[in-house]
Every structure is written in C-alpha cells, then in structure tokens.
Amino acid sequence: MSALCVPLVFKPVYKDYIWGGERLAAVYGRTDTPEVCAESWEIAARPDGESIVATGPFAGRGLTELSAEYGAALVGTRAPDPHRFPLLFKVIDARDRLSVQVHPNTENAERTGGEPKTEMWVVLDRSPGASLYAGLAEDVTPESLRRSLADGTTATQLVEHPIEPGQALFIPGGLVHAIGAGCLIYEVQQNSNTTYRLFDWNRVGADGRPRLLHIEEGFKTLDWSLPAPRMIDPAGGDRAGTGWSEVVACDYFNVRRLNLAEPLDVTMDSLSFHVLFVTAGAVAVSVGGERVLLRVGQSALVPAAADVYHLEPDAAACLLVTTL
C-alpha cells in the first residue's frame, strides 16, 4: 500500500467575489472566512487556488505537488494526466446572482485559448424563490441574444429553473448559465478557471465601473446545439432512506449521493480517487491507519491507491462522493 493511502483534508481557499455572502460561516460554522465569502475552493490544484493539506502526515503539502509526485496512486489510472489533479470542488454562496456566462468545451476551447470546463451543481440550500438559469429559451437566435445583451433583457432569453435542496443540475461546457441570488451550491467541475461573462445584470465592480464582459469569446464558445437541461432529483437511495444514488455521470466525473445510517466499508479499484463532501450529519473516515471526522460542509480526498476506506456515521449522515 502506498504511503499516501490516508484521508487528505485540506484548508479551504476562499474567494471574496462581489456577489458572495456570509452563509459559509453561518451554516457551517467556519470562523476563517472573509467578511464577504463567495466561494470556498474545497479541493483545488491551481495557481490561483492551491489546496494545502491541513492535518496528518502530509500536512503543509500542496495538492499540485502531491499529484506530481504520486501520480496514479493519488488520482487513479482513469485520470487523463496522472500527474495533474483533474477536478476542482467548490462551495458557492450566491448572495447576489452570478453573471450570465459560458465555459469552453473540449471541441471549442482552442478557439479562444481557454480551458474546457464542464461542471455540475448540487443545491445545498436556497432562499425562498431562488432559482438557477441554464440553457437558452426556445427560438433564441444569435441575433436576439446579442440584442438582449445590449438592452439588458438577457433574462428573457434564458431558461429559469425553480429549485429545492438536494436537486442537481448538469452544466456541460458550451451551455449558457447563471446561479441565481440566494443559492448555496456544491460544485464539481473540470480543473479549469475559464469563464466568459456575457451579461452581468448591469452590475459594477468594487471600482464603480461595469465588470469586464467577454461577449465575442462567449459567442465562440457557446454550443447552440445544447438543449436546456432538466433539474435532477436523484432516485434510488432517496434522501429519506439509505444507500447509493447516482446524481450526475459524465465523461469527466461521477457524482453519487450516499445516505448512511450504519458503518460501511467502501472498496477502491485504483481507477480513481474518491472525494467526499458531507451534506448532513457527520462521518468518520478511516484508511491507512488515519482517521478524520468530517462534519457537515467538510470535504476529504481518499487517494486512488487505497484498497478500502471505512465510514462511520454519527447517527444518519449524507455524503456526496465523486470519482472519475
């Protein structure tokens, strides 16, 4: 067994974007957030957001460094590059709505020099009446979308989705989308930070000027063949019961929900790491002689080389488990 076969818990990387709020502190009891906290990068390996191991034998080491050193033992043999961590995990607190935006996909990223970014969202909480925007309304054309960007009526061009906690939404690269005000979201995405803003609700930045838009890059990136997605309400091991249920599966990641009332051993297959995020209750994770307790709103990474890890819930618990 590799020496890396222990649960890795990281220090969150916080982002204080203008649309953020205070819910990460209020809901999860975090005391280290900035006054305005838009995003917590839970597990990331990027120059603009590097996860550092918080505890245990690898404390102080970065995820980029560990990925480069341990390769497939960390990320798994399914990873496209065994020495680069392939995904990025966030918790997003949208006090205000995010910009209307689009990310590149594998087919069109070279047009703008951006990185492909397919993502998915799980609704952790929401204010009454909150919604998500994803996809274009019927009969929208490039011409009508451009007009709406110019005259501030872009919302009429988008599909708005009412939401409930526990629901999910899949956002492939090339799909126009926005997170509405009042949403607390768990996001799983490709390891990319390329975002093209098409419209920002006539908002100004901290300097009092309109925020930068990327309309031409966005139009080169937008995939007009993509239909508006539907909200996903996972079946199978439902939120009131126990067991596994699939949330989103795509070429880049597989996200499942695990409702847990009894201890459970989870077998690994060396193909992928497992990333755990606790949405309810608390869970002790044990592997390689190390044990960590994850409370609601906390994350851990189990390296791919682990044979099996043990989960012990504190009463009933719910986790989101992501693999490649």
- Poorest-confidence range of 71-80, 186-195, 236-245? 236-245
Q: Are residues 154 and 247 in the same domain?
A: no
What's the token pair of residue 56?
């245990």
Exposure of 199 by Cβ count < 10 A (0-12 exposed, 13-18 middle, 19+ buried)?
buried
- Same structural domain for residues 81 and 210? yes
What average pLDDT does this structure show over 187-200?
98
- Residue 255: pLDDT over 60: yes
Residue 1 in domain: no
Give me the domain span that covers residue 299. 243-323
- The CATH number linked to 279 is 2.60.120.10
The mean predicted confidence, pLDDT, of the chain is: 95
What Rg value do the Cα atoms of the chain yield, rounded?
20
Q: Region 90-109: what's the mean pLDDT?
A: 98
Residue 80: closest CA among 288, 295, 317, 251:
251
In this predicted structure, the answer to whether residue 236 has a pLDDT above a threshold of 80 is: no
pLDDT beyond 60 at 235: no
Q: In a 3-state reduction of DSSP, which class is residue 7?
A: coil
The answer to whether residues 57 and 183 belong to one domain is yes
Query: How confident is the model at residue 207, as a pLDDT?
Result: 84
Q: What is the mean pLDDT of residues 264-275?
A: 97
Number of structural domains found in the chain: 2
Kindly state the average pLDDT of the residues 52-80.
Answer: 97
Distance (Å, rounded) from C-alpha 101 to C-alpha 66?
Answer: 32
Residue 252 and residue 213 in one domain? no
* pLDDT per residue as tens digits for the range 114-128: 999 999 999 999 999
Residues recognised as catalytic: 197
Give the pLDDT mean for 292-310.
97
Is 318 domain-assigned?
A: yes
In angstroms, the CA 308 to CA 302 distance is 9
| pTM (2 d.p.) | 0.96
